[in-house]
Amino acid sequence: MNDEKLKVVLALLSGIIFSLVFILLAFILPISSPKTPPKTMDSELQKLSKAYKESQKKLPPEQQKILDKQKSPTK
C-alpha cells in the first residue's frame, strides 16, 4: 500500500473510533437533571409559609374574628 491509501484508511478508522466513543458516552452518561431538586432553606420556608397561610384560611369564623382582633393595631 502506498502512503496516500494508508493515510486515508487510518483517517477513516480514527473517525469511526472517535464517533463510537461519543456514541457510547451518550448512552452511558445521563443528560437529564435529577428528578428531585435539592432541598434548600428557601424552599422549605416557602412550604411552611404556604401551609401556615392555608391553615389560617380554614379557621372557623369565631376563631378568625379573634385572630383578626389580635392582628389589628390597638390605638
75 residues of the chain, pLDDT tens digit each: 688 999 999 999 999 999 999 898 888 877 776 677 666 777 888 888 888 888 766 667 777 778 777 777 655
Q: What is the pLDDT of residue 12?
A: 96
Q: Which residue from 21, 20, 23, 17 is spatially nearest to 9, judged by alpha carbons?
A: 17
Distance CA(33)–CA(24), nearest Å, equals 19
Q: What is the pLDDT of residue 10?
A: 95
Q: What is the pLDDT of residue 74?
A: 59
Q: Tell me if 12 is assigned to some domain.
A: yes
Q: Tell me if 11 is assigned to some domain.
A: yes
Q: What is the pLDDT of residue 34?
A: 62
Q: What is the pLDDT of residue 64?
A: 73
Domains in the chain, number: 1
| φ, ψ dihedrals at 72, nearest 5° | -70, 140
Q: Tell me if 56 is assigned to some domain.
A: no
Q: Tell me if 37 is assigned to some domain.
A: no
Distance CA(9)–CA(54), nearest Å, equals 71
9: Cβ–Cβ under 8 A, 6 or more apart, which residues? 1
Range of the domain at 23: 1-31
Cell numbers for 37: 431538586
Q: Tell me if 24 is assigned to some domain.
A: yes
Q: Tell me if 44 is assigned to some domain.
A: no
Q: Tell me if 13 is assigned to some domain.
A: yes
